[in-house]
């Protein structure tokens, strides 16, 4: 049932009463929030749910988050349960403004101060020493806490309405690609949470850049839309966690060691120059089809045009033009999830450059493929 719930000059939202329930009989509502957000009663109600220890999924500029009161260990335990998230994987705390950072960080290092000034609010998470008020349950026992100030108006309005920092991982079942629309949140969370705020598709589509600011040098633990190049302009030297570039090292962000972003069918990544991709895809698709496989592909517009005769349109997911990295990032997870309900038994994805935003895109594709990478040029395994 979709009904108009309320409308005003600045805020309009409708409310979809979907009756998918879990064993406990929980009903999941989706409330559409239009921007600019202006004291919407729905947001105040969502803030009440958070303060009372409940869960609310909400949009951010990166991906949709699954939020709970970040200072309430029991409320955060419900996040782990709803996602099936390993308990040693810490949660990021989301704040509305600079003052809220000081309520949870024991110290804001000079380098963190520079990043706050340059990129916050925005798609970046700073790792800082935590205050005792932050439960160890949410930091996986670490003495540090991940802090993010989202730019999305709905996210910040929700944090203000709740009046507490909101702990929020991505609103998907652990291991799956993160949701970039409310419909994708619903696919994983229906029956598990009471409320999803629908703010439309996310702008960036990949999770925040995580920067460890607790030591002498800034270290990128997870690449994102704030790129290494952008960080270096502000800080000078910035390191990459060695686990991001090679296997065999334990990542410093505990969550980065887990399988992630995986579609249901096994995925192979093709890496190489954009000009090599069309012929590489024709070769790899044909090879697999001759072996009896139903092949699905996640590719650029350029490659899609060159291979459209080889497979039905429903097995072809297009993520954007080759040179348009923001579009590729924004559509990547939706493209991966589009195969959830399709018959493909193997997937091929087109890689990008590793420069700029390409580092984040390739990080997600490497993880989604379990590091199964073929050279577009030779067809041989790279790793």
Q: Provide the minimum distance between the beta carbon of 276 and ligand AMP in the complex, in angstroms, as a whole number.
A: 32
Instruction: Give 32 or 364: the residue with its C-beta nearer to ligand AMP.
Output: 364
Query: How many DSSP H helices and E strands does the chain contain?
Result: 12, 18
User: Up-side HSE of residue 186: CA atoms within 13 Å toward CB?
Assistant: 18
Q: Report CA-CA distances (Å) from 314 to 212, 278, 321.
A: 41, 19, 19
Instruction: Give 371 or 381: the residue with its C-beta nearer to ligand AMP.
Output: 371
Instruction: Give 92 or 265: the residue with its C-beta nearer to ligand AMP.
Output: 92
Instruction: Give 129 or 175: the residue with its C-beta nearer to Mg ion.
Output: 175
Give the closest residue to 333 by CA, choosing from 181, 225, 182, 221.
181
Q: Are 169 and 57 in contact (CB under 8 A)?
A: no
Instruction: Give 224 or 320: the residue with its C-beta nearer to Mg ion.
Output: 224
Instruction: Give 170 or 180: the residue with its C-beta nearer to ligand AMP.
Output: 170
Give the CB-nearest residue to ligand AMP: 255
Instruction: Give 170 or 300: the residue with its C-beta nearer to ligand AMP.
Output: 170
Which span (53-61, 96-104, 161-169, 265-273) binds Mg ion, by CB under 5 A? 161-169
Q: Are 22 and 191 in contact (CB under 8 A)?
A: yes
Q: List residues binding ligand AMP (CB under 6 A).
A: 89-90, 92, 127, 139, 142, 144-146, 169-170, 207, 210, 221-222, 252-256
Q: How far is CA 108 from the centre of its chain?
A: 25
From Mg ion, ligand AMP, none, which one binds at residue 221 (CB under 5 to 8 Å depending on kind)? ligand AMP
Q: Are 276 and 299 in contact (CB under 8 A)?
A: no
Taking the C-alpha atoms of residue 313 and residue 316, their distance in angstroms, rounded to an integer, is: 5
- Helix, strand, or coil (residue 317): strand
Instruction: Give 80 or 281: the residue with its C-beta nearer to Mg ion.
Output: 80
Q: What is the token pair recorded at 300?
A: 């650029």
Q: Provide the minimum distance between the beta carbon of 69 and Mg ion in the complex, in angstroms, as a whole number.
A: 19
Q: Considering CB under 5 A, how many residues would be counted as binding Mg ion?
A: 2
Which span (51-59, 126-134, 167-175, 241-249) binds Mg ion, by CB under 5 A? 167-175
Strand-pair category, 373-375 with 27-32: unpaired
The reply on whether position 227 binds Mg ion by CB under 5 A is no
Taking the C-alpha atoms of residue 314 and residue 102, their distance in angstroms, rounded to an integer, is: 49
Q: Provide the minimum distance between the beta carbon of 257 and ligand AMP in the complex, in angstroms, as a whole number.
A: 8
Q: Provide the minimum distance between the beta carbon of 93 and ligand AMP in the complex, in angstroms, as a whole number.
A: 8
Which span (162-170, 225-233, 272-280, 290-298) binds Mg ion, by CB under 5 A? 162-170
Taking the C-alpha atoms of residue 200 and residue 205, their distance in angstroms, rounded to an integer, is: 12
Q: Provide the minimum distance between the beta carbon of 172 and Mg ion in the complex, in angstroms, as a whole number.
A: 6
Task: Output the DSSP codes for 107-172.
Answer: ---HHHHHHHHHH-SSSEEEEEEBPTTS-GGGTTT-SEEEEE----HHHHHHHHHHTS-EE--BSS
Taking the C-alpha atoms of residue 127 and residue 123, their distance in angstroms, rounded to an integer, is: 14
Q: Provide the minimum distance between the beta carbon of 292 and ligand AMP in the complex, in angstroms, as a whole number.
A: 37
Q: Provide the minimum distance between the beta carbon of 170 and Mg ion in the complex, in angstroms, as a whole number.
A: 3
Token pair 């009903």: residue? 27
Instruction: Give 90 or 179: the residue with its C-beta nearer to ligand AMP.
Output: 90
The span from the first CA to the last CA of the chain, in angstroms, equals 49
Q: Provide the minimum distance between the beta carbon of 226 and ligand AMP in the complex, in angstroms, as a whole number.
A: 14
Which span (27-35, 48-56, 129-137, 165-173) binds Mg ion, by CB under 5 A? 165-173
Q: Provide the minimum distance between the beta carbon of 205 and Mg ion in the complex, in angstroms, as a whole number.
A: 13
Among 62, 170, 209, 214, binds Mg ion (CB under 5 A): 170
Q: What is the token pair recorded at 102?
A: 């000081």
Binding site for Mg ion (CB under 5 A): 169-170
């Amino acid at each position: 049932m979709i009904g108009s719930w309320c409308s005003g000059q600045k805020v309009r939202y409708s409310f979809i009463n979907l009756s998918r329930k879990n064993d406990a009989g929980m009903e999941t509502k989706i409330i559409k929030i239009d921007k600019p957000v202006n004291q919407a009663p729905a947001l105040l109600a969502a803030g009440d749910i958070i303060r009372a220890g409940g869960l609310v999924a909400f949009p951010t500029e990166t991906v949709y988050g699954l939020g709970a009161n970040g200072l309430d260990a029991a409320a955060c335990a419900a996040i782990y349960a709803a996602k099936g998230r390993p308990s040693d994987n810490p949660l990021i705390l989301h704040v509305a403004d600079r003052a809220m950072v000081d309520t949870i960080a024991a110290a804001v290092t000079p380098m963190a101060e520079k990043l706050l000034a340059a990129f916050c609010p925005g798609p970046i998470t700073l790792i800082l020493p935590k205050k005792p008020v932050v439960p160890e349950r949410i930091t996986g026992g670490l003495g540090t806490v991940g802090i993010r100030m989202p730019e999305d108006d709905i996210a910040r309005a929700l944090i203000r309405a709740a009046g507490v920092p909101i702990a929020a991982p991505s609103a998907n079942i652990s291991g799956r690609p993160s949701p970039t629309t409310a419909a994708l949140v619903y696919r994983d969370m229906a029956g598990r949470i009471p409320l999803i705020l629908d703010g439309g598709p996310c702008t960036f589509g990949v999770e925040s850049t995580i920067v460890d600011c607790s030591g002498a040098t800034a270290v990128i633990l997870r690449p994102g839309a704030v790129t290494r190049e952008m960080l270096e302009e502000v800080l000078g030297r910035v390191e990459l966690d060695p686990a991001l570039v090679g296997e065999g090292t334990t990542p410093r962000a505990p969550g980065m060691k887990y399988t992630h972003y995986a579609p249901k069918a096994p995925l192979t990544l093709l890496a190489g120059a954009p000009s090599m991709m069309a012929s590489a895809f024709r070769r790899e698709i044909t090879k697999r089809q001759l072996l009896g496989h139903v092949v699905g592909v996640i590719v650029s517009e350029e490659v899609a045009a060159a291979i459209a005769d080889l497979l039905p349109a429903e097995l072809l997911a297009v993520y954007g033009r080759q040179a348009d990295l923001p579009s590729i990032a924004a559509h990547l997870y939706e493209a991966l999830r589009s195969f959830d309900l399709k018959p493909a038994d193997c997937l091929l994805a087109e890689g990008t450059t590793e420069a700029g935003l390409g580092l984040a895109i390739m990080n997600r594709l490497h993880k989604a493929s379990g590091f199964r990478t073929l050279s577009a040029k030779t067809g041989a395994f790279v790793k």
